[in-house]
Structure 1
Amino acid sequence: MTDTMLIQLNGGKVGLALEQARSTAPVWRHFGAPLGEHALVWPADGMRPPPPTVLDGDPPFTVLPTHGFGWFHQPALLGSRPGSQGDSDWAQDFRLDGMSRDGDALLMRLSDPIASLAVTLSYSIDPGSDVVRAWAEVENLGETPYRLDWLAAACVPLPAQADQVLGFSGRWTLEFQEARETLGVATWRRDNRRGRTSHDSFPGVIVGASLGDDEGAVFGAHLGWSGNHTILIEPLTDGRRQLQLGEWLAPGEVVLARGERYRTPCAFLSFSDQGLNGLSAQFHRFVRTRVLDWPQRHMRPRPVILNTWEAVYCEHDLDDLQALAGAAARIGVERFVLDDGWFHRRGNDRAGLGDWWPDARKYPQGLTPLVEHVRELGMEFGLWIEPEMVNPDSDLFRTHPEWVLQLAGRPFVTGRNQLVLDLAETAVTDYLFESIGALLRDHSIAYLKWDMNRDLATAGHHGRAAYRRQTLALYRLLERLRRAFPDVEIESCASGGGRADYGALAYMHRVWTSDCNDALTRIDIQRGFLRFFPPEVMGAHIGAACSHTTGRRHSMPFRAAVALLGHLGLELDVRTLSDAEADELRYWITLYKQCRPISHRGVLHQGRFGDALVWTQATAEDGRASLLSVFRRREDTARYAMPVPAKGLRRDLSYVVRILHMPHAPHFKGQTEWLAAMREGGVEMPGATLMDLGVPIPPMPPESAVIVCMKAVAEDS
Structure 2
Amino acid sequence: MIVLNGTDSGIVLEPRPDGAPLWRWWGPRVGTDALPPLAETRPAASFSLDIDQPLTLVPNYGTGWFGPAALRAHREGLAFFQRWNDVAIDRQANAVIITLRDTTAQVTLAQRLTLDPATDVLTLSASVRNDGDDALTIDWLAAGTLPLPADATTIRSFTGRHNAEFVAEVEPMPAHGWVRENRRGLTGHAGPPGLFVEGPGATWHAGTVRAAELAWSGNHRLAIERDDEGFWTLQMGEALAPGEVRLAPGETYDTPDMLATVSATGRNGAIQSFHAAIRAAVPWPAAGMPPRKVHVNSWEGFYFDHDEAALMALADRSAALGIERFVLDDGWFRGRGDDTAALGDWTPDVVKYPNGLRPLADHVVALGMEFGLWVEPEMINPDSDLYRAHPDWALAGPDAPRPTSRNQLVLDLGRAEVRDHLFAVIDTLLRDLPIGYLKWDHNRDLAPAGGADGTAGYGAQVRGAYALFDRLGAAHPAVEIEACAGGGGRIDAGIARRTHRFWTSDCIDAVSRVRMQRGYLHFMPPEMMGSHVGASPAHSTGRGQSMAFRAAIALPGHFGVELDPATMDPEGTATLTRWIAHYKVLRGTLHHGRVWLGEGTDSLFWQLHGTPTDGLLAVTRVEPTVIRRPPALPLPPLAGMGRVRVRLIDIATTPGHPVPDAPVFAAMRGEGVVWDGDWLAQAGLPMPAMKAESVALFAIEPA
Coarse TM-score class (shorter-chain normalised): over 0.9
1:210-221 correspondence runs (5 A): 210-221=201-212
For residues 482 and 199 of structure 1, what CA distance do their matches in structure 2 show? Answer: 25
Q: How far did 1:125 drift?
A: 0.8
The aligned counterpart of 2:30 is 35
Cα displacement (A) at 1:639: 2.6
Pick from 162, 177, 198 the counterpart of residue 152 of structure 2: 162
CA distance in 1: counterparts of 2:266 and 2:63, whole angstroms: 38
Secondary structure of 2:578's match?
A: helix
The one-letter amino acid paired with 1:49 is P
Whether 1:151 aligns to 2:141 is: yes
How many Å separate the matches in 2 of 1:56 and 1:201?
45
Alignment of structure 1 residues 365-444 onto 2, 5 Å: 365-444=355-434
> Does structure 1 conserve the Cα–Cα contact (< 8 Å) formed by 2:371 and 2:436?
yes
Name the counterpart of 1:614. Answer: 605
> Residue 337 of structure 2 is aligned with which of 335, 347, 356?
347
> Hey, what does 2:619 align to over in structure 1?
630
Number of the residue aligned with 2:591 = 600
Which residue is equivalent to 1:10? 5
Aligned identity (percent) is 44
Q: How much has 1:224 moved relative to structure 2?
A: 0.3
Shift of 1:542: 0.7
Residue 109 of structure 1 corresponds to 99
8 Å contact kept, 1:665–1:701: no
Give the alignment partner of residue 512 of structure 1, picking from 475, 493, 503: 503
Deviation (angstroms), 1:666: 9.1
**Aligned equivalent of 2:260, options 248, 269, 292:** 269
Question: Which residue of the partner structure matches residue 38 of structure 2?
Answer: 44
Residues 667 and 376 of structure 1, relative CA distance in 2, 3 Å threshold: closer
Unaligned runs of 5+ in 2: none
Asked if residue 645 in structure 1 is aligned to residue 634 in structure 2, the reply is yes
Letter in 1 for 2:354: P
Equivalent pair of 1:608/1:614 in contact (CA under 8 Å): yes
Shift of 1:73: 1.4
8 Å contact kept, 1:424–1:469:
yes
For residues 429 and 123 of structure 2, what CA distance do their matches in structure 1 show? 37
Q: Residues of 1 paired with 2:203 and 2:5: CA distance? A: 24
C-alpha contact (below 8 Å) 2:653/2:693 kept by paired residues: no
Equivalent residues of 2:262, 2:270 under 8 A apart: yes
Distance in 1, matches of 2:659 and 2:291, equals 41
Contact in 2 for aligned 1:613/1:632 (Cα 8 Å): yes
Structure 1: any 5+ residue segments left out of the alignment? 1-5
1:329 alignment partner, one of 278, 295, 319 = 319
Distance change >3 Å, CA 39–CA 368, structure 1 → 2: same
Shift of 1:678: 2.1
Range 640-649 or range 11-20, more displaced: 640-649
Report deviation, 1:565.
0.6
How far has the Cα of 1:49 moved from its partner?
2.8
Paired AA for residue 472 in structure 2: L
Superposed counterparts of 1:212-251, under 5 Å: 212-251=203-242
SS at match of 1:262: strand
1:683 aligns with 2:642: no
Name the aligned partner's letter for residue 66 of structure 2: F
Kept in 1, the 8 Å contact 2:548–2:654? The answer is no
1:592-625 Cα shifts (integer Å, max 9, x gaps): 01110001001111111357211111124xx542
CA contact (8 A) 1:611 1:633 kept: no
Please, what is the CA RMSD of the aligned residues?
A: 1.7
Amino acid at match of 1:19: E
Choose the corresponding residue for 2:15, options 5, 20, 35: 20
Q: Is the 8 A contact 1:63 1:155 kept in 2?
A: yes
State the alpha-carbon separation in 2 of the partners of residues 228 and 126 from structure 1: 27
Paired residues in the alignment total: 700
Q: Confirm or deny that 1:258 pairs with 2:252.
A: no
SS at match of 1:122: strand
Shift of 1:495: 0.5
Query: What does 1:172-571 align with in structure 2 at a 5 Å threshold?
Result: 172-200=162-190, 202-209=192-199, 210-289=201-280, 291-461=281-451, 462-571=453-562
* Cα distance in 2, alignment partners of residues 180 and 419 from structure 1: 36
User: Aligned partners of 2:372 and 2:630: how far apart in 1?
Assistant: 43
* 8 Å Cα contact 1:221/1:269 also seen in 2: yes
CA distance in structure 1 between the aligned counterparts of 2:545 and 2:605, rounded to whole angstroms? 17
Structure 1 residues 88-110: Cα deviation after superposition (integer angstroms, max 9, x where no partner): x1111224511011100011011
TM-score (norm 1): 0.95
TM-score normalised by L of structure 2:
0.97
CA–CA separation in structure 2 for the residues paired with 1:155 and 1:514: 32
Could you tell me whether the CA contact under 8 Å between 1:295 and 1:488 is conserved in 2?
Answer: no
| Separation (CA, whole Å) in 2 of partners of 1:641 and 1:213 | 21
Deviation, structure 1 residue 380: 0.1
> Residue deviations 1:98-150, cap 9 Å, x none?
10111000110111111111110010111211101110011111111000010
Q: Secondary structure at the match of 1:97?
A: strand
Cα gap change, 1:310/1:451 in structure 2, threshold over 3 Å: closer, same or farther? same
**Does the CA-based 8 Å contact 2:647-2:670 persist in structure 1?**
no
Alignment CA distance shift 1:492-1:400 (3 Å): same
3-state secondary structure, aligned to 1:227: coil
Question: Are the counterparts in 2 of residues 216 and 275 from structure 1 also a CA contact under 8 Å?
Answer: yes
Q: Check the 8 A contact 2:380/2:408 in 1, yes or no.
A: yes
1:74 to 2:68 alignment = yes
Separation of aligned partners in 1, 2:650 and 2:658: 19
How much has 1:68 moved relative to structure 2? 1.0
8 Å contact kept, 2:645–2:672: no
- Deviation at residue 631 of structure 1 after TM alignment: 1.0
Give the CA deviation at 1:497.
0.8
CA contact (8 A) 1:336 1:379 kept: yes
Could you give the per-residue CA deviations for residues 444-471 of structure 1, whole angstroms, max 9, x where no partner exists? 0000000000000010111110011111
Cα deviation, residue 258, structure 1: 1.0
CA 1:610–1:460: 2 relative to 1, 3 Å: farther
Contact 1:659 1:682 in 2 (8 A): no
Q: CA–CA distance in 2 between the matches of 1:701 and 1:127? A: 44
Corresponding residue of 2:698 = 708
Partner in structure 2 of residue 141 of structure 1: 131
CA deviation profile, 1:177-229 (whole Å, cap 9, x unmatched): 11100013120110011100111363011101244100000001010011111
- Name the SS for the 2:243 alignment partner: coil
Local SS of the residue matching 1:460: coil
- Residues 662 and 698 in structure 1, CA contact (< 8 A), matched pair in contact too: no
Whether the 8 Å CA contact 2:135–2:247 is kept in 1: the answer is yes
Alignment check: 8 A CA contact 1:658 1:683 kept: no
- Separation in 1, partners of 2:139, 2:152: 29
Change (3 A) 1:694 1:619: farther
